[in-house]
Amino acid sequence: MRTIALGNQGLRVPVVGLGCMGMSEFYGASDTLDNLKVLDRASELGCTFWDTADIYGPFRNEELLATALNGRREAITLATKFGIRRDSAGGWLGVSGHPEYVKACCEASLKRLKTDYIDLYYQHRVDPDVPIEDTVGAMAELVTEGKVKYLGLSEADSDTLQRAQKVHPISALQTEYSLWSRDVEDDILPTCHRLGIGFVAYSPLGRGFLTGAIRQRDDLEEGDWRLDNPRFQAAALKHNRRLADQIERIAVSKAITSAQVALAWLLARKPGIAMIPGTRKRNYLEQNGYAAAIELTQDELNTLNQFSREFPTMGTRY
């Protein structure tokens, strides 16, 4: 699979990675053995940029990846995150960027992942009560200690990125980006380009909506967090289906899937962008991976760009 450099620090990743969050929580029930088979297939396909976080599960997602990493650790670029606090029952406890918390989280993640280093370590959400200089300073010490190779931030604004970069090179910013979430184009992406920071797009398929598989609320199973998401309410779904339908028209004309159209659009936007679509299905994993080889025509790109601007998504991201 095609790879790119994320940032200017030497980190290279496949342009299509794998978001592993849904294998443990948020999107309904899942099966551990099936998830491990998907991870095995991802490795075979060269989809070797795996993304997790300490809170997914909570905590169980890193343990799942530990099993999949056995015997192939050096072949996988492993990203995990800290910064959002949860208890063992799944309760949400806010965010923290305190230096002592950073280091405690790293030690706990290393233990759960059964590894002695993390390739890319993100602050999951910025703590407004702790200067980013203090948080990144603690993260930089983890690099010096050999526990972390590269640093990243998630959902950080331009000012935070600039301040963080002065403390230690930031290799990647992870933020939502897709045809129905284009906010980053105005300020964030130019800032990343100027600072030499790579960009990792999460939810590049609009949390599954851009695949065309979700047309009404009944398409979501009980326990799926999207049932509470503003963009998946009945009125919003009806409005947003127009974008999904436009994507589908292009997919049909090219004999590919809607998901592949949405991913190919994103990969055509800017150099230095990687993405981490999540899936628990082997066939979807394979389709997502093949998207890296698909090229949309300029007319197709223009159509999608114009349509998504003229008919903006209804509903906030969270």
Q: Per residue in 57-115, pLDDT tens?
A: 999 999 999 999 999 999 999 999 999 999 988 899 999 999 999 999 999 999 999 99
Is 236 part of a structural domain of the chain?
Answer: no
Does 224 map to a domain? no
CA torsion 219→52→58→131, rounded to 10°? -120
Residue 300: inside a domain: no
Which pLDDT does position 35 carry in this prediction?
97
| pTM of the predicted structure, to 2 decimals | 0.95
Contact 133, 163 (CB under 8 A): yes
Per-residue pLDDT tens over the stretch 195-213: 999 999 999 999 999 999 9
Tokens linked to 17: 């990675």
Sheet of 273-275: strands edge to edge? 18-19, 49-51, 77-82, 118-123, 148-154, 172-176, 198-202, 273-275
3-state secondary structure of 81: strand
Kindly report the CATH number assigned to the domain that includes residue 174.
Answer: 3.20.20.100
pLDDT grade for 52, boundaries at 50, 70 and 90: very high
235 in a structural domain: no
Which residue in the block uniquely carries the two structure tokens 């509470």? 228
Catalytic position from the list 27, 56, 121, 177: 56
Q: Which residues of 165-194 are buried (b: 16+ CB within 10 A; e: fewer)?
A: bebbbbbbbbbbbbbbbbebeeebbebbee
- Domain membership of residue 170 (yes or no) is yes
What are the tokens at 284?
């979807």
Quick check: is 56 catalytic? yes
Q: Classify residue 309 as exposed, middle or buried by CB count within 10 Å of its CB (0-12, 13-18, 19+).
A: exposed
Q: What is the pLDDT of residues 241-280, one digit of tens each?
A: 999 999 999 999 999 999 999 999 999 987 789 999 999 9
**248 lies in a domain?**
no
- Residue 78: closest CA among 104, 42, 103, 102: 42
Identify the CA nearest to 105 among candidates 159, 145, 142: 142
The domain containing residue 32 runs over which residues? Answer: 3-212+259-295
Cβ atoms of residues 128 and 136 within 8 Å: no
Q: What angle do CA 231, 275, 80 make, to 5 degrees?
A: 95
At residue 26, the pLDDT reads: 87
**For range 169-195, the mean pLDDT:** 97
* Residue 49 covered by a domain: yes
154: CB partners within 8 A, 6+ apart: 81, 83, 122, 123, 124, 125, 173, 174, 175, 202
Number of domains in the chain: 1
Identify whether 197 is part of a domain: yes
Cα gap 18→50, rounded to integer Å:
5
**Dihedral pair phi/psi, residue 214, rounded to 5°:** -115, 105
Tokens representing 41 are 């297939």
